[in-house]
Structure 1
Amino acid sequence: MKLRTYLLLANMISIAFIIILLVAFYRYMLLSMDQFIWLTSATVGAAIVSALLHFLLLRPIEASVRRVGEGAGRIAAGDLEARIEHTGFKEFRQLADQFNHMGSSLETSFRQVKAAEASQRELVANMAHDLRTPLASVQSYVEALQDDIIQDEETFRNYLATIRSETVRLGNLIQDLFELSTLDGTKQEPDELKLSIVEDVLVELLPRFTKPIALKSLQLIVRLPDRRVSIIIAPRHLQRILQNLLENAIRYSPKDGLLSLTAEEIEDPYGKLVRFEVCDEGEGVPVEERERIFERFYRSEQSRSREGGGSGLGLSIAKLLVEHSGGQIGIQPAGKNGSVFWFTLREAVDAKKTSEI
């Protein structure tokens, strides 16, 4: 039943009830004939006027309800951009606001789902590519060794070294993927965060880079605050961030180049921050790629060359770790050549006490 018909029927029932009462009053001599005729005529006239008013006043209400219904139908048909006009009574304008907000939320959610699906497809494709290359290399070298093609001892050892390096690369890629999925799935609560002393983290981390730095004859300069600085992040997470940024800097640095790792205290409205910078003298990152450099599997070289050996996940992991700890991360050019990867983390309130221990 339509709304107009329902309200008109309700009005007619009330008028009929009034007329029945008038008939009862006239029958029991409570009304004279003239009074009965006048009151009945007035009631019928009021019914006619009420019906006309119902017809006229319900039109904007029906129009508003119809617009909501049409908008809902368009969304149900897949048109998530459907919106309704803010016209009519106050309640219907509020309903239109809520409907349009719902449509915007659905559209945003749908786009996020589509983006997640596209990212998942890209992730699977990149994983397949990155896993297939070292696996194919390992397979070819193993087959060569099985067929006794290699008789020279030095070549034999080189083959084994290559197989080992490729398996290590596979292990690192799988570990990166595992850590990335772990970071996506859970977020640390503030009370679970631990304090890291920058100097202690670097003392443990930097010896790992002695060999790769020596192989490219690089010079590493480290600049730290004069006192021991404590920041709000788990030591292993700070270590992983710096490790990924240093590996990236070493990978793209030219031979005999200069690297620098700097940590300095800076002020902000909410307290002290520690800003880390890892600077290299590589070719740098083009302006149009700086927004995407922290995406998963994204590499600056469009040819996807494996010469550098990167998996394209290190910077993504660094970004997630920094953001999970409430910090920021970015990249900027370093003069004519090179790049500066920077990130900030909040300094612990009791940093001064820590330095006195």
Structure 2
Amino acid sequence: MKLRSYLLLANTISIAFIIILLLVFFQYMLVTREQLIWLGIATVGAGIVSALLFYLLVRPLEASVRRVSEGAARIAAGDLEARVENTGLTEFKLLADQFNTMGTNLEQSFRQVKTAEAAQRELVANMAHDLRTPLASMQSYAEALEDGVIQDEATYRRYVTTIRSETVRLSELIQDLFELSTLDAGARSREESQPAVVEDVLLELHPRFSLQLEAKELQLRVRLPDRSLRVNMLARHLQRVLQNLIENAVRYSPQEGIIVIAAEELEGELIRISVIDEGAGIAEAERERIFERFYRTDRSRSRQGGGAGIGLSIAKLLVEQYGGRIGVEQAEGQGSRFWFTVQEVKMVQ
């Protein structure tokens, strides 16, 4: 039943009830016939006026309800940009505001879902390529060894070494994905509380890059303050961040280039650690997206170089877990300066 019909029915019942009372009063001689007629006419007239007032007053209410109903129908049909005009009585204005807020939230949620779906499709495509490349390489070399087409010892060892390196590459990619999923879940290990010493972490990392540095004839220079730097980050997490940044610098540095690792003190007991290379640099429009997972500024070159597009996103998640910030900017001259901040832990005297 419509609101207008409901109110008219209520008005009719009221009039009928009054007339019945008048008839009862007349039956028991409480009113005369003439009084009954005049009271009946007055009651019917008041009922007609009341019905007209109901009709006129209900129209804006119906219009407000109709606007909300039409807005809901548009959203149900898929138009998430549908909004309701904020007019009418105070209660309906409040209802319209709440409806529009709901529509905005639905639209934002839908966009997030669409973005997540697109990211998931990109994830599957990237993973398919990044996993297929080392697997295909391993398969081809293994088949060549199995078929006995390799006769000389040097080539045989080279094939075995390539299979081993591709196995390591595949293992690192799987480890990166596992670590990324762990960081997404917000799992932060607390089994250790010892602050990391920056110079100790760099000393442990250097042997891992010695072969890559020699292959490209790169120079690695470290610039640290004279005193020991202790930071509020687990040593293995700091090592992971620096490793990813140095790997990125080595990958994009030119032959015989220079990589600089520097640390400087900021206000608020913050330490900013930078990794500077002499590569081609990163376009300003891409500097915000460079830390997104599986994002590559040059996809073909990154894949050939072995980068899966995960390392920088892992570094960002780790740094932010400790309340720090991470970013990239143009280095002086040519190249990129990747930097992150971490809280320093002062030694108690």
Counterpart Cα distance in 1 of 2:99 and 2:293: 36
Letter in 2 for 1:123: L
Alpha-carbon displacement from aligned partner over 1:8-65 (angstroms, at most 9, x marks no partner) = 1112112221222222222223223333333222221111111001111111111111
User: What does residue 148 of structure 1 align with?
Assistant: 148
Match of 2:348 among 350, 353, 356: 356
- CA-CA distance at 1:246 after TM superposition: 0.8
CA positional deviation for 1:296: 2.0
> 1:86 maps to what in 2?
86
With structure 2 as the length reference, what TM-score do the two structures score? 0.92
Report the alpha carbon displacement of residue 222 of structure 1 after superposing the two structures with TM.
2.2
Alignment of 1:69-108 (within 5 A): 69-108=69-108
Contact 2:138 2:163 in 1 (8 A): yes
1:231-282 CA-partner distances (Å, limit 9, x unpaired): 4333322221111001101111123222122222322xxx433222111111
- Supply the distance in 1 between the matched residues of 2:132 and 2:75 (Cα, whole angstroms): 43
How do 1:1-357 residues align onto structure 2 when only pairs under 5 Å count? 1-188=1-188, 194=193, 196-199=195-198, 200-267=200-267, 271-304=268-301, 306-347=303-344, 351-352=345-346, 355-356=347-348
Matching residue's letter, 2:308? S
CA contact (8 A) 2:263 2:272 kept: yes
Q: Deviations over 1:116-166 (max 9, x none)?
A: 111111111111111111111111111111111111111111111111111
Aligned partners of 1:251, 1:305: CA distance in 2, in Å? 9
Q: Is the 8 A contact 2:130 2:303 kept in 1?
A: no
Q: How far 1:105 moved relative to its partner? A: 0.8
Deviations 1:171-224 (A, max 9, x none): 1111111111222223549x8894633434334333433333333332222233
Report the Cα distance in structure 1 between the residues aligned to 2:12 and 2:108, rounded to whole angstroms.
48
Tell whether the 8 Å contact from 2:197 to 2:230 is kept in structure 1 after alignment. yes
Mapped partners of 1:169, 1:19: distance in 2: 94
Q: Which letter maps to 2:272?
A: R
Root-mean-square deviation (CA, aligned residues, Å) is 2.1
Q: d(CA) in 1 for partners of 2:5 and 2:97?
A: 28
Output the CA distance in 2 between the equivalents of 1:207 and 1:338. 24
Q: Which amino acid aligns with 1:253?
A: S
* 2:74 partner letter: R
Q: Distance in 2 between matches of 1:193 and 1:110?
A: 41
- The structure-2 alpha-carbon separation of the partners of 1:89 and 1:227, relative to structure 1 and needing over 3 Å to count, comes to farther
User: TM-score, structure 1 length as denominator?
Assistant: 0.90
Identity of aligned residues (%): 66
Query: 2:270 & 2:3 partners in 1: Cα distance?
Result: 63
With over 3 angstroms needed to count, the CA separation of the structure-2 counterparts of 1:101 and 1:230, relative to structure 1, is farther
**How far, CA to CA, are the matches of 1:188 and 1:61 in structure 2?**
55
User: Following the alignment from structure 1 to structure 2, what is the Cα–Cα distance between the partners of residues 35 and 193?
Assistant: 97
3-state DSSP of counterpart to 2:275: strand
Q: What letter is aligned with 1:344?
A: T
Verify the 8 A CA contact 1:197 1:231 in the aligned structure 2. yes
Hey, what's the Cα distance between the residues in 2 that align with 1:274 and 1:292?
A: 24
Secondary structure, counterpart of 1:144 in structure 2: helix
Whichever residue aligns with residue 18 of structure 1, its letter is I
Unaligned runs of 5+ in 2: none
Give the match's secondary structure for 1:265: strand
SS at match of 1:332: strand
Point out where structure 1 has 5 or more consecutive residues left out of the alignment: none
Pick which of 56-65 and 313-322 moved more: 313-322
Aligned equivalents of 2:194, 2:28: Cα separation in 1: 94
Distance 2:187 2:11 in 1: 61
Change (3 A) 1:39 1:265: farther
Query: Conserved in 2, the CA contact under 8 Å of 1:220 and 1:258?
Result: yes
Query: How far apart, in 2, do the equivalents of 1:238 and 1:318 lie?
Result: 9
Task: Go from structure 1 to structure 2 and tell me whether the alpha carbon gap of 1:188 and 1:94 turns closer, same or farther (over 3 Å shift).
Answer: farther
Task: Give me the whole-angstrom Cα distance separating, in 2, the residues matched to 1:105 and 1:187.
Answer: 29
| Cα offset, 1:228, TM superposition | 4.0
